A = this chain, B = another copy of it.
Amino acid sequence: MPDTTAAFIQHDHSACQSKALAYVTEQCAAKGLRLTEARRRVLEILLESHTALGAYDVLQRLNTEGYSAQPPIAYRALDFLVEHGFAHKVERISAFVACHFPGQCHAPAFLICRSCRTVAESRSARQVNPLQADAQAMKFSIEDTNVEAEGLCQSCQSEQGA
């Protein structure tokens, strides 16, 4: 039974935002992780929508807030968020999205619209790692898996695609 974020349909996105931010705040407190100013701001920027942002997009956003930051600032914050499962890197488009199933996150699975860069995260698709059987058979130890499908969301299909 499909179970994805509501990225492609109208929804109460402020609920997405507050839920994720609350979870991350709580997790950081619980695990002694430091959710510093820069890290929190980057997370908030990612949480503004379900659109994937490049590291330099994030950087530009920081800089329009008087922040005067260089690339490592953005990459470090993003690395922190990704390392702890609060955000994901979407490999196909070298971009980042906030995680909307934090705490339940193993192998993220995404539907990526190539036109509007909106990304829906799927919970159902990542319950079973499709490569697990192969890995076991060859004694390969999997550390991280990504499943990504690129295409067109419904509304971009209507607009003929890009």
Contact = CB atoms under 8 A, between A and B. Distances in A.
B150 A134 contact: no
A150 to B, nearest CB: 5
Interface of A is mostly: mixed
A41 interface: no
Q: This chain: how many copies in the complex? A: 2
Interface string A121-162: 010111011110111111111111111111111100100000
B141 A157 contact: yes
Nearest to A154: B139
A61 B137 CA distance: 34
Interface stretch (A1-9, A15-23, A44-52, A73-81): A1-9
B151 A141 contact: yes
